[in-house]
Structure 1
């Protein structure tokens, strides 16, 4: 057990060799995959099924648009807020990466390998929200017919889910490979 008398001692804690790290990693990705911008995947699946049945005016499709109208405003990020968030998170992740991979601190490496993919996922969600906002606004104003709005929304959200799935698999795989390499090189943690 490393000494906890300094910040470096805390950051040198074991991560890759504990089951709790792996359970937390899988649990975080599992929880992140249960919704798309706050819309449960079941609602998206029902709306997609309604589109396949050629019933875009079905209650399931309308429920998807309702969920979006409630959750989409939470994902609005202005240029100033986006720049501040990007700067602060980039600084934090870069600091963790330097501590982890530059100075060989295991906990900092683990946090970097967890943080960077979730950072990318956040920006993918912001991009999806920016793409869906005009579709939802046009549908609410009656400019875009509901079937077209639902079809466009489902198409973007399904594509986002696929990107999310690829990102999660890649993140877990890279973390797993790095963790195995770390444990092979340092079987006793130092």
Structure 2
């Protein structure tokens, strides 16, 4: 086996049979559930355990990130929605209409993350509207994390089922 074959065997563009895709999927969802509205989850836990300065740090960090989310949504929200919708539509067409497996794989990564983005905006709105602090803020952050993990579980399940289907159908067809 020459070097060229070894590299292309390691970096296989058939996404669902590639270990790197599954590692990337795990990293994306692990990172997404750890960073709740841009705040590391251990910071939320530390604020609940210790209170005081840790609680103030959490509230400041959440306030900064909520304001940042609303600023981005206000300045470029419509453009981001249009761009994301176009990208997701293009990936869906390329992946499922034209059968390009790489586009299917990216679609199955990007689409659930758009739902997490919408959940984040909703949570940021609830935090701002309720002026949440202390235990109420931590409870809302916990709910958001659980919702994100639920989206992640469903996403990983659907991706795994589709990936197995793809691998089995290509294996049967000899693709």
Which bin holds the TM-score, normalised by the shorter protein? 0.7 to 0.9
Instruction: State the Cα deviation string for residues 123-157 of structure 1 (Å, max 9, x = none).
Output: 11111112222344xxxxxxxxxxx6223211211
Instruction: State the Cα deviation string for residues 88-124 of structure 1 (Å, max 9, x = none).
Output: 1011101110111111110011011111011111111
**Secondary structure of residue in 1 paired with 2:17:** coil
CA contact (8 A) 1:99 1:109 kept: yes
Alignment of 1:24-173 (within 5 A): 24-49=24-49, 58-76=52-70, 77-78=72-73, 81-136=76-131, 149-173=133-157
RMSD over aligned Cα atoms: 2.1
1:89 and 1:30 mapped to 2: Cα distance? 22
Of the structure 1 ranges 74-83 and 118-127, higher mean CA displacement relative to structure 2 is found in 74-83
CA contact (8 A) 1:135 1:153 kept: no
Shift of 1:14: 0.9
2:73 and 2:91 mapped to 1: Cα distance? 27
Instruction: State the Cα deviation string for residues 25-50 of structure 1 (Å, max 9, x = none).
Output: 11111122222112111111123345
TM-score scaled to structure 2, two decimals? Answer: 0.83
* Pairs aligned (count): 162
CA contact (8 A) 1:47 1:60 kept: yes
Unmatched 5+ stretches in structure 2: 1-11
TM-score scaled to structure 1, two decimals? Answer: 0.77
1:115 and 1:45 mapped to 2: Cα distance? 28
The structure in which a higher percent of residues are helix is: 2
Q: 1:23 to 1:125 in 2, by over 3 A?
A: same
Residue 174 of structure 1: which of 158, 163, 169 is its match? 158
CA contact (8 A) 1:15 1:21 kept: yes
